[in-house]
Amino acid sequence: MTGGRETTDDASDVVDFLLDQHRQIRGLLAEVLDRSGPERQRAFDEVREMLARHETGEEMIVRPLTRKAPDGRVVADERMAEENEAKRVLADLEKMEVDSNEFVVRFTAFRQAVLEHAEAEEREEFPLLRQTTDPHALIAARDRVRRAEQLAPTHPHPSAKTTVANYVAGPFAAMLDRARDALSRGS
């Protein structure tokens, strides 16, 4: 991640890895509202990039595991619906001036939705994974999520609403996002 925030390499499985990222995301979300001007923009860019990577890893690796569990399809579909809405809102937020009242109001609501989404994963999805998935598969999933996040886009792409769409569009979108990020840092 940017800004020196890395997920720990000693996370024992994919659930621990994602829980660590949830802690980081909670901190970044608060940081956006605690800052202003260029510092708020930097914090927003950081949380946007982390969420894009985090959700890509979940959608590509974790959700298919969840779907295999008894009643897992319902849990996975609920989380995917929340993530698709978050992508849409995040894309809208990207177009706003970060110090505008509209941004603050919409980001505050977005932050609450992200926190509720993370809590639902921690309450429903992660225990289900631990109960129904082989521990070695959860360790392998951690490594696969790390690789997926390295290839993930850095901006939300609301039109990529399915895992297949992320697999197809992800690497190309990531390349374009990284070019856009580099150009915007240069201006």
Say which residues have a Cβ less than 8 Å from residue 118's Cβ, sequence separation at least 6: 22, 25, 26
Cα dihedral angle (87, 94, 149, 35), rounded to 10 degrees? -120
pLDDT of residue 52: 87
Which residue, 1, 103, 126, is CA-closest to 51? 1
pLDDT of residue 179: 47
- Give the burial string for 68-99 (b: 16+ CB within 10 Å, else e): ebeebeebbeebbebbbebbebbeebeeeebe
pLDDT of residue 181: 53
- For residue 158, how many other CB atoms are within 10 A of its CB? 14
| pLDDT digits 0-9 by tens, 73-101 | 999 999 999 999 998 999 899 999 999 99
Percent of the chain with pLDDT over 70: 75
Q: Which amino acid is at 43?
A: A
For residue 133, what pLDDT band results from cuts at 50, 70 and 90? very high
Q: How far apart are the C-alpha atoms of 39 and 112, rounded to whole Å?
A: 21
Which residue, 136, 121, 153, 152, is CA-closest to 18? 121
| pLDDT digits 0-9 by tens, 33-61 | 999 999 999 999 999 989 988 988 999 99
For residue 148, what pLDDT band results from cuts at 50, 70 and 90? confident
pLDDT of residue 158: 55
Q: How far apart are the C-alpha atoms of 157 and 155, rounded to whole Å?
A: 6
- Superfamily of domain 14-150, CATH level 4: nmb1532 protein domain like (1.20.120.520)
Which residue, 122, 130, 155, 123, is CA-closest to 18? 122
pLDDT of residue 167: 46
| pLDDT digits 0-9 by tens, 4-40 | 444 445 569 999 999 999 999 999 999 999 999 999 9
Per the prediction, the chain carries an average pLDDT of 84
What's the rounded mean pLDDT across residues 160-175? 49
